[in-house]
Amino acid sequence: MRIILVNLISNSIKFKKADEKAIVKVNLKTKADLLTISVKDNGQGMDLNDPNNLVFSLFNRSSENRAIKGYGIGLYMIKKVIERNQGQIKLESQLGVGTDIQITFPLK
């Protein structure tokens, strides 16, 4: 859980808009037999319709963000951790608006 939260929060800070403070909202809730974690930010966002956007691919780096440090393994790694624990990850993002990532885990 720590790996997932550290990666998502640090990405929110790392990919903030240059002219704004990063605002990151983390929400945890349980309902029935599910734990839902949401990490939402006001950062750069992504164009999820862009065929070159392979956000969950290993070593994927956006050509627009080459100046930002990283190797493109974070989201790939956390997706694998989530799936290995029978969880699911859903990403909503809009370029210039921000990103909202929802993760659900069964409470077993």
pTM over 0.75: yes
CA 32 → CA 17, 29, 100, 105, distances in Å?
37, 10, 22, 11
Q: Tokens 């859903």 identify what position?
A: 90
Q: Give the containing element (helix H, strand E) for 34.
A: strand 34-41
pLDDT of residue 22: 94
Report pLDDT digits (tens) over 35-91: 999 999 999 998 887 766 678 777 676 545 555 666 578 899 999 999 999 999 999
The domain spans of the chain are: 2-106
pLDDT of residue 55: 80
pLDDT of residue 43: 93
Residues 87, 74: Cα–Cα separation, whole Å: 17
* Domain spanning 2-106, CATH class: alpha beta
